[in-house]
Chain A
Amino acid sequence: MGETLTLGKALNLGLRRAMEDDSKVILMGEDIGKLGGVFRITDGLQKDFGDERVIDTPLAESGIVGTAIGLALRGYRPVVEIQFDGFVYPAYDQIVCQVAKMHFRSRGKVRLPMVIRIPFGGGIGAVEHHSESPEAYFSHTAGLKVVACSNPSDAYWMIQQAIASDDPIIFLEPKRRYWEKGEVDTAEELSVQEPLHSSKVVRPGTDVTVLAYGPMVRTALDAANAAAEDGRSLEVIDLRSMSPLDMGPVYASAKRTGRVVVVHEAAGNLGMGSELAARITEECFYSLEAPVLRVTGYDTPYPASRLEEEYLPDLDRVLDAVDRSFGW
């Protein structure tokens, strides 16, 4: 029992519920108030919570994130919206040098409960700066937690869990899936949801394990449907948390299937797939029938619009990797 919501609307309702539950939650970002954000994720929130809690900031990412740190240190729970993935870089210094290190630097004396929401990934015909997948930069930085939602129900619950977390969280939203619909049971309690930093089997299978997160979960599920027609059973795991990684379900699956394919939009070189392949190899070496294969974006800047389709992993490339895995 639940409502059918788009992923974007689910985030909007999740933010609303977090704001209702805790008056310390404030939203900051460019065009998030009056406009409700370029993707309308904060639509209506300034109207209902006022411009003291939903703040249209000047165009100054470094300043926005930097002031959010100060607010968080004084008891607020700021939720910052970065308009597009590529605009997080002016704030990168604040995130890597300050956000990630406050708790550690203070030997645990202070907490930094802030969320940095970033629409990420391609597939909408936009270019460089508007289609990037920066998860590896942040996952590489100890002290940050990095998550990505892939469907409306997770979007609704994960954004609330992220806001409730006492640690700083980079919250990645698959922008091209904002308009995809799914069931959300908003009547449930936050406390009974699966933990934020847990990976989840979203389609059980027996032959190959496919690991994905964010926008690529849908791609992996589509591939699993197509593979089923050919008599191959893919198990799809939505990692959900890039840092920390929840490897338990991944290892269990890899040991059962013996074959693993990792899918992400970000470039392959030193991407999440590299870390996943290394860990799976270390832990499941004797169970593997084939090397862990990666299906990723290419090692180039995000390409011009006419090459986008070629760049992004799609169903065919996932199935091709599955075939290659069986070739071993």
Chain B
Amino acid sequence: MEASLYRMVRLIRRFEERCVELVRSGDIIGGIHPYIGQEAIAAGVCAALRFDDIITSTHRGHGHVLAKGADPIRMLAELCGKVTGLNRGRGGSMHAADFSKGIFGANGIVGAGGAIATGAAWAFLRQGGGDKVAVSFFGDGAVSQGVLLEAMNLAALWKVPVLFVCENNGYATTLTVSESVAGTICGRASAFGIPSSTVDGMDAAVVFEAASAAVESARRGEGPAFLECLTYRFDAHHTWEHKARVRYRPAEEEVSGRLRDPVEIAGGRLDPAERESIDEAIEALLDEAVAFATTSPAPDPSTALDYLYGSAVLP
């Protein structure tokens, strides 16, 4: 488990660093919201999931999509808007998805995933027999959105097997949690009678343990659970900030926030030789992904109307 957690944390980190380079080179159009610093959460939570469980993700979604098992090569092609991408270049960074693996998509609308995950988990429950769960990842900003609170109420009422995972990185763009959240984040869960806990989101092993407990209780039919993971975003809210050079986080905080690095925490538990061989394999994989993405064709404009409807438009 330690090696696989490290591998995923490291993969996400390097994937994101490569993406930032591809934004700079113009291969990824429109920029990304880098997940750098928060990798332990996606890695830890998804390690507690099975292939047939479902997740919904956010605008900062690459880590979740990778950790739930999407192919990094096709994922990168997606971010570059190429036909070989997971969604044939139609989704891009903010809407990458792989429904075949239970990845119901990154989402450009903050808070939207919470209700979708609740519905998916409710379907599991209604279909009976299984013990599948759904997980909704969202940020501290999303807890102010009505739709998320509505979803939590429904999930609790109907004992839906859904896990709400709040990645509290201290900021919604420039707004601090203390400026945006009255009461506490977990207090929202308590209000609906949903059991919650707050854990160290920098340590993938800690997240894995907490997520496993929550997922197991949902699998047993005990209804929803809520996990608040404390973390720090190491990079910009969005790569746009690299150019705009905005300052809204105190310089000391940016230093102290990065002191505990999920990659080092997970990597420190491995034998250095093992770590090195994991790192090498990741570099080779990402080299391949970048080469594949940059040489793949862009969608043909004549296909722009494809995928609009499931059934024929004309009889």
Interface residues of A (CB under 8 A from B): 30-31, 34-35, 38, 56, 58-60, 62-63, 86-87, 89-90, 124-130, 298-301, 303-308, 310-311
**Using a CB-CB cutoff of 8 Å, which residues 265-304 of chain B contact chain A?**
298-299, 301, 304
A129 in contact with B92 given A35-B173, A298-B305 (CB within 8 Å): no
Chain B CB within 10 Å, residue with most, of A60, A89, A310: A60
Q: Is the CB of B299 within 8 A of A63?
A: no
Distance between B177 CB and nearest chain A CB, rounded to angstroms: 10
Question: Shortest beta-carbon distance, A221 to chain B, in Å?
Answer: 26
Residue of B90, B145, B174 touching A60 (CB-CB under 8 A) = B145
Given A63-B146, A306-B299; A129-B174 close (CB under 8 Å): no
Given A90-B146, A127-B30, A311-B304, also A59-B92 (CB < 8 A): no
Determine whether the beta carbon of A128 is less than 8 Å from that of B108. Answer: yes
Give the dominant DSSP class at B's interface: loop
B236, chain A: closest CB distance, angstroms: 12
Q: Do residues B301 and A307 form an inter-chain contact, with CB atoms below 8 A? A: yes
With A127-B30, A130-B108, A307-B299 known as contacts, the answer to whether A59 contacts B180 (CB < 8 A) is yes
Report how far A62 CA is from B150 CA in the complex, Å. Answer: 13
- Complex A-B: 7 CB contacts under 8 Å: A31-B174, A58-B181, A86-B108, A124-B30, A128-B108, A130-B108, A300-B304
Residues of chain A contacted by B145 (CB below 8 angstroms)? 59-60, 90
Q: Are A304 and B146 interface neighbours, CB within 8 A?
A: no
Is the CB of B142 closer than 8 A to any CB of chain A? yes
Q: A58-B172, A59-B145 are in contact. Are A305 and B29 (CB under 8 A)?
A: yes
B 166-183 binary contact with A (CB < 8 Å = 1; else 0):
000000111100011100
Which residues in B have their C-beta under 8 angstroms from that of A89?
A: 109
Q: B161 on the interface (CB 8 Å rule)?
A: no
Q: How far is the CA of A247 from the CA of B169 in the complex (A)?
A: 51
Interface residue tally for chain B (C-beta within 8 Å) = 38
Chain A contacts of B92 at CB under 8 A? Answer: 127, 304-305
Interface status of B224 (Cβ within 8 A of chain A): no
* Interface core residue of A58, A128, A307 (most chain B CB under 10 Å): A58
In the complex, which of the residues A90, A298, A304 contacts B299, with contact meaning CB atoms closer than 8 Å? A304
In Å, the complex CA distance between A126 and B299 comes to 17
Q: Which residues of B contact A301 (CB under 8 A)?
A: 308
Whether A303 and B141, one on each chain, are in contact in the complex, defined by CB atoms closer than 8 angstroms, is no
Residues in B52-88 with C-beta less than 8 Å from chain A:
81-82
CA distance A196 to B304 in the complex (A): 37
Q: In the complex where A58-B181, A125-B30, A128-B94 touch, is A86 in contact with B109 (Cβ < 8 A)?
A: yes
A38 vs B175: C-alpha distance when bound (angstroms): 12
Which 10 pairs between the two chains have the least Cβ-Cβ distance? A305-B29, A58-B144, A306-B81, A58-B180, A310-B301, A125-B30, A59-B141, A129-B108, A306-B298, A60-B144
Q: In the assembled complex, which residues on chain A have CB atoms less than 8 Å from the CB atom of B31?
A: 125
Chain A residue nearest to B139 (CB atoms) is: A59
Contact: A56 with B89, CB < 8 Å? no
- Does B246 sit at the interface, judged by CB under 8 A? yes
Q: Which residues of A contact B179 (CB under 8 A)?
A: 56, 58
Distance to closest chain A CB from B211 (angstroms): 25
Q: List chain A residues, Cβ under 8 A from B82.
A: 306
Q: How far is the CA of A143 from the CA of B173 in the complex (A)?
A: 33
B172-198 contacts to A, CB under 8 A, are: 172-175, 179-181
Contact of A62 among B146, B172, B248 (CB under 8 A): B146
Closest A residue to B93 by beta carbon equals: A127
Decide: A35 and B180 in contact? CB cutoff 8 A.
Answer: no
* Pair B109/A58 contact, Cβ less than 8 Å: no
In the bound complex, how far is the Cα of B238 from the Cα of A127, in angstroms? 14
> B82-106 interface mask toward A, CB cutoff 8 Å, 1 = contact, 0 = none?
1000000111111100000000000
Query: Measured between alpha carbons, how far is A148 from B299 in the docked complex, in Å?
Result: 32
- Tell me which residues across on chain B come within 8 A of A124, comparing CB atoms: 30
